[in-house]
């Protein structure tokens, strides 16, 4: 590398170059782009990676909760994507949540939440949400913005944790300890970016020989991360594939000495041969070389026949032994996976605790599901989520199913799959995705569901391609069917079930737009003698019950709150959380409650809803959503009470929750006239004791799931 930089990079413009700072005794390399000037720690030619340094985003407070110092950090790389495989997004603090956003051309936001009440709760080396949390970053990210904030400004924990901070760093760089809570141990961290030839696919690049960068003895592949291609030397060659004569033949005969006999080096390969008087392939990893034995010829047919029969018997015996051992090995391997993934013993124990039945789900074999998914071919992928990948499968009877496969061998994910199996095995409802069966004899556990073929509710209300397809009546019906399913889970199932992650992406639609509630990996069964469960905060930001967030007390009213957010989505067509909206409009539940309080409800309603819906009908649903979004769970309705929306769904203009639907004085102003059935209620609430979330929640959620 040198100051001129002309020999260090290839680009048609000057938007990127590499240069050395020679102002010190040790020259330091830097990468320059139009928005950044970043120190280079290492360039890995074989892995197509560059290690650079980046700043840490930090916010610090005084003992009374005032901000002493705050900075954000961002990175823009016009040509090189941030490595999703080699980096982690990490946040540190006992009252800290941080977000990673700004992916070009996308509203994608991710982040994590870290909390703890006492330093004794913190575990050194653990970054699972107590004092420290981490998450992955997306593919194809050429830029990012990191923001760090706090819910309580570190009041009460200031003595041992006055600051919160977050950063993207190379995986393995940071090992968390209690000492890190006082202040960040560093200002800069290493981050890995992938380098490639941008803006062209491999196939397109090959069409233009003047600009194609891969030289002789090399070939290109499309980059796994980012938009572009990379060059690689052919097998048997090594070097720089971007330079003329850069890929040189490897002399295996000298480097690895692979032959027992004579070794002859060839371009890209080698050949082994045995000395005279010996036979074989001459390879150390093959048959090697053995002396040639000149056997005597016998003319006796009896001897020849005896030898032949003996040879066949030995061959049959060896074959039988080989196949027997092979089948035994496969059987043991499947049994090992079956037990590791929960197996029948674990499954029967868990189900017996909840009075379930293992016969409720069909047990599939590994071979059945491989055949159904064409060996889990990429073309069969329906979607990917936090727990695993979902494939489209076709059973021998031509039944189309959805097969969920865990991403890795994380034991916590196995327990979530077992939990989902227990939950779904006890549910029989037309608006809940039906569990067909499971498989535990593979390396990762599998669940088999009915196939719901019309995408998610979120796709239909938030994507432009579906804007005109979802009518007001269809929205009412979907809301009513979802409410009915949740009411069944809370009140009518064999054991009371809390879903814990109700959102528009977990409501599937079939070809008739019938709602199907899905994704029970976070759900929990509630014992009959208890009304609530204490659990770690879990869910999706934007839908998360604020009371649950503070108390960690899980009740059925947590599902009611999330359902209220879905109702608000159906009414407005807006996402539950969007950083493209103004700051006071990012969180839909806050924005919705504020619009009702400020008599602006009909200004934010979806135009399609306004054109097709009855104003009084719209108002009643809006009042119901507002009651579901109240901060205190005791002030929200039950899902049994919410089921009145099914009457609206059937077209009864007189449908109502009775007095409960008319709990706001603003209804009179928003409708322009007072309904006689609401008159008494509006009078009784004239004092305005509404405690909706717009008045009670002192924070704003800024991250995705």
Residues 594 and 689 in one domain: yes
Residue 316's pLDDT is what? Answer: 84
Q: Which residues contact 267 (CB under 8 A, 6 or more apart)?
A: 236, 249
Pair (638, 586) in one structural domain: yes
Q: Distance (Å, rounded) from C-alpha 433 to C-alpha 620?
A: 29
Q: Domain of 261?
A: 254-291
Residue that finishes a domain, picked among 427, 450, 473:
450
Residue 24 class from Cβ within 10 Å (0-12 exposed, 13-18 middle, 19+ buried)? exposed
Answer yes or no: is 28 within a domain.
no
CA 544-546-551 angle, 5° bins: 110
117 and 159 both lie in a single domain: yes
User: CA 321, CA 630: separation in Å to the nearest integer?
Assistant: 70
- Whether the pLDDT of residue 606 is over 70: the answer is yes
Whether residue 315 lies inside any domain: the answer is yes
Collapsing DSSP to helix, strand or coil, 21 comes out as strand
Cβ neighbours of residue 544 closer than 8 Å, sequence gap 6 or more: 537, 562, 701
**Are residues 277 and 411 part of one domain?**
no
Which CATH number does the domain housing residue 85 bear? 2.60.120
Q: Is residue 22 part of a domain?
A: no
Q: Where are the alpha helices (DSSP H) in 224-365?
A: 252-255, 301-340, 343-353
Q: Which residues contact 661 (CB under 8 A, 6 or more apart)?
A: 620, 623, 624, 627, 644, 678
In this structure, the answer to whether residues 349 and 321 fall within a common structural domain is no
Look at residues 179, 195, 211 and tell me which one is the last residue of a structural domain: 195
**Could you give the 3-state DSSP secondary structure of residue 76?**
strand
pLDDT given for residue 698 in this prediction = 32
If one counts the domains in the chain, the total is 6
Active site (annotated) includes residue 559: no
H or E element at residue 611: helix 607-612
d(C-alpha 564, C-alpha 638), whole Å: 11
119 burial (CB, 10 Å; 0-12 / 13-18 / 19+) is middle
CA-to-CA distance for 138 and 133, rounded, in angstroms? 17
Is the domain of 155 the same as that of 272?
no
> Using N-to-C axis directions, what is the helix angle for 343-353 and 411-425, rounded to 10°?
50
3-state DSSP assignment of residue 95: strand
Indicate whether 180 and 320 sit together in one domain.
no
In a domain, 8, yes or no: no
Check residues 356 and 52 and name the one with the higher pLDDT: 52
- 315 and 170 part of one domain: no
- Residues 257-267 have a mean pLDDT of 88
550: left (phi over 0), alpha (psi -120 to 50) or beta: alpha
| Lowest mean pLDDT segment, chosen from 29-43, 238-252, 614-628 | 29-43
Residue 567, CB-side half-sphere exposure with 13 Å CA sphere: 29
- Higher pLDDT, residue 16 or 402: 402
Q: Within 10 A of 25 (CB to CB), how many other CB atoms are there?
A: 5
The predicted pLDDT at position 420 comes to 64
Residues 397-409, mean pLDDT to the nearest whole number: 82
What local confidence, expressed as pLDDT, does residue 694 receive? Answer: 39
- Quick check: is 584 in a domain? yes
Asked whether residue 210 carries a pLDDT value surpassing 70, the answer given is yes
User: What is the average pLDDT across 423-435?
Assistant: 82
Please check the confidence at residue 439 and state whether its pLDDT lies above 70: yes
Rounded to whole angstroms, the Cα distance separating 95 from 310 reads 78
Burial class (CB in 10 A: 0-12, 13-18, 19+), 562: buried
Let me know: does 163 contact 58? Beta carbons within 8 Å.
yes
Tell me which DSSP letter residue 83 carries. Answer: P
Q: Is residue 38 part of a domain?
A: no
Residues 629 and 592 sit within 8 Å (Cβ to Cβ):
yes
CA atoms within 13 A on the CB side of 46: 2
Cα distances (angstroms) measured from residue 402 to each of 141, 238, 417, 429 = 30, 44, 14, 18
Give CA–CA dist 268/247, Å, rounded.
10
Q: What is the DSSP letter of 171?
A: T
CA atoms of 495 and 423, how far apart (whole Å): 9
Together in a domain, 243 and 258? no
Local confidence band at 702 (pLDDT 50, 70, 90 cut-offs): very low
140/124 Cα distance (integer angstroms) = 33
DSSP string, 384-413: E-SSEEEEEEE-TT--EEEEEEESS--HHH
**What pLDDT is attached to residue 660?**
39
> 347 and 388 share a domain?
yes
Catalytic residue among 79, 249, 501, 519: 501
| Confidence tier at 384 by pLDDT (50, 70, 90) | confident
* Residue range 642-696, pLDDT digits in tens: 877 766 665 544 444 333 334 444 334 443 333 333 333 233 333 333 444 333 3
Domain presence at residue 19: no
3-state per-residue secondary structure call for 479-503: HHHHHHHHHHHHHHCCCCEECCCCC
Q: What are phi and psi of 405, to 5 degrees?
A: -125, 125
Check if the beta carbon of residue 347 is closer than 8 Å to that of residue 421.
Answer: yes
Please write the tens of the pLDDT for every residue from 148-207.
Answer: 999 999 988 999 999 999 999 999 999 999 999 988 899 899 999 998 888 889 999 999
What burial letters (b/e) apply to 364-387, b meaning 16+ CB within 10 Å?
bebebbeebbeebeeebebeeeeb
Q: Is residue 703 part of a domain?
A: no
**136 and 260 inside one domain:** no
Task: Kindly indicate the confidence band of residue 35, based on its pLDDT and cuts at 50, 70 and 90.
Answer: low
The mean pLDDT of 428-435, rounded to a whole number, is: 89
Question: What is residue 183's predicted lDDT score, i.e. its pLDDT?
Answer: 86
Contact 350, 422 (CB under 8 A): yes
The span from the CA of 549 to the CA of 291, in Å, is 78
Cβ distance 256 to 243 under 8 Å?
A: no
Mean model confidence pLDDT for the chain:
78
- The residue that leads in pLDDT, 347 or 290, is 290
Q: What is the mean pLDDT of residues 562-580?
A: 93
The pLDDT of residue 493 is 67
The C-alpha atoms of residue 255 and residue 270 are separated, in whole angstroms, by: 12
Statement to judge: residues 597 and 535 lie in one domain: yes
We report the CATH number of the domain holding residue 367 as: 3.30.200.20
**pLDDT tens digit sequence for 294-336:** 644 445 566 778 788 888 888 888 878 778 777 666 556 655 5
Each residue's pLDDT tens digit, 581-595:
888 899 999 999 999
Please name the residues in contact with 594: beta carbons below 8 A apart, sequence gap of 6 or more. Answer: 584, 600, 694
Given a cut of 90, whether residue 541 has pLDDT beyond it is: no
Q: Which carries the bigger pLDDT value, residue 35 or residue 17?
A: 17
- Mean predicted confidence (pLDDT) in 487-507: 84
Q: Which of 450, 472, 502 is the last residue of a domain?
A: 450
Give the SS3 label for residue 355: coil
Supply the pLDDT for residue 416: 63
Residue 404 confidence (pLDDT): 86
């Amino acid at each position: 590398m040198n100051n001129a930089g002309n020999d260090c990079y290839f680009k048609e413009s000057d938007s990127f170059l590499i240069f050395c700072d020679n102002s010190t005794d040790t020259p330091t390399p830097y990468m320059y782009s139009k928005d950044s000037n970043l120190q280079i720690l290492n360039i890995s030619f074989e892995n197509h990676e560059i290690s650079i340094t980046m700043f840490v985003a930090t916010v610090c407070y005084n003992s009374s909760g005032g901000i002493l110092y705050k900075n954000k950090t961002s990175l823009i790389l016009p040509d090189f994507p941030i490595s999703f495989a080699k980096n982690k997004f990490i946040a540190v603090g006992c009252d800290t949540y941080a977000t990673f956003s700004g992916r070009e051309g996308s509203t994608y936001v991710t982040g994590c939440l870290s909390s703890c009440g006492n330093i004794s709760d913190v575990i050194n080396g653990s970054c699972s949400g107590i004092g420290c949390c981490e998450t992955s970053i997306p593919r194809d990210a050429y830029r990012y913005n990191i923001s760090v904030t706090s819910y309580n400004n570190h009041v009460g924990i200031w003595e041992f944790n006055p600051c919160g901070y977050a950063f993207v760093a190379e995986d393995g760089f940071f090992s968390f300890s209690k000492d890190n809570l006082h202040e960040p141990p560093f200002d800069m961290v290493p981050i890995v970016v992938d380098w490639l030839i941008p803006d062209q696919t491999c196939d397109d690049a090959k069409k233009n020989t003047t600009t194609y960068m891969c030289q002789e003895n090399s070939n290109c592949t499309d980059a796994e991360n980012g938009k572009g291609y990379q060059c690689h030397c052919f097998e048997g060659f090594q070097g720089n594939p971007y330079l003329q004569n850069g890929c040189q033949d490897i002399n295996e005969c000298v480097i690895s000495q692979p032959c027992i006999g004579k070794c002859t080096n060839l371009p890209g390969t080698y050949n082994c041969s045995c000395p005279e008087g010996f036979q074989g392939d001459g390879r150390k990893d093959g048959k090697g070389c053995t002396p040639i034995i000149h056997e005597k010829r016998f003319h006796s047919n009896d001897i020849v026949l005896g030898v032949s029969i003996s040879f066949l018997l030995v061959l049959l015996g060896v074959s039988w032994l080989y196949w027997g051992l092979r089948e035994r090995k496969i059987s043991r391997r499947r049994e090992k996976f079956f037990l590791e993934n929960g197996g029948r013993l674990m499954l029967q124990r868990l189900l017996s605790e909840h009075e379930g039945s293992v016969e409720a789900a069909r047990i599939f074999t590994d071979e059945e599901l491989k055949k159904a998914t064409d060996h889990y071919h990429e073309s069969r992928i329906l979607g990917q989520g936090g727990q695993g990948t979902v494939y489209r499968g076709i059973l021998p009877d031509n039944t189309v199913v959805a097969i969920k496969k865990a991403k890795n061998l994380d034991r916590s994910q196995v327990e979530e799959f077992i939990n989902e199996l227990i939950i779904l095995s006890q549910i029989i409802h037309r608006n809940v995705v039906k569990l067909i069966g499971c498989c535990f004899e593979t390396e990762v556990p599998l669940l088999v569901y009915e196939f719901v073929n019309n995408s998610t509710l979120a796709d239909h209300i938030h994507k432009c391609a579906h804007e005109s397809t979802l009518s007001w009546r269809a929205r009412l019906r979907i809301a009513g069917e979802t409410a009915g399913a949740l009411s069944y889970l809370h009140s009518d199932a064999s054991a009371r079930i809390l879903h814990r992650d109700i959102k528009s992406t977990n409501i599937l639609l079939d070809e008739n737009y019938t709602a199907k509630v899905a994704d029970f990996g976070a759900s929990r069964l509630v014992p009959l003698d208890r009304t609530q469960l204490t659990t770690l905060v879990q869910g999706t930001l934007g839908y998360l019950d604020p009371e649950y967030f503070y108390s960690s007390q899980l009740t059925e009213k947590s599902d009611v709150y999330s359902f209220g957010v879905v109702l608000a989505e159906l009414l407005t067509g807006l996402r539950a959380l969007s950083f493209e909206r103004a700051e006071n409009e990012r969180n839909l539940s806050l924005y919705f409650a504020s619009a009702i309080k400020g008599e602006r409800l009909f200004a934010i309603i979806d135009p399609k809803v306004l054109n097709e819906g009855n104003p009084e009908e719209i108002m009643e649903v809006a009042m119901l959503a507002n009651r579901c979004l109240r901060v205190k769970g005791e002030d929200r309705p039950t899902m049994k009470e919410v089921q009145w929306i099914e009457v609206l769904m059937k077209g009864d203009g007189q449908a109502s929750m009775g007095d409960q639907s008319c709990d706001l004085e603003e209804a009179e102003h928003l409708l322009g006239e007072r309904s006689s059935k609401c008159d008494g209620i509006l009078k009784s609430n004239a004092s305005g004791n509404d405690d909706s979330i717009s008045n009670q929640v002192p924070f704003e959620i800024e991250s995705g799931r």
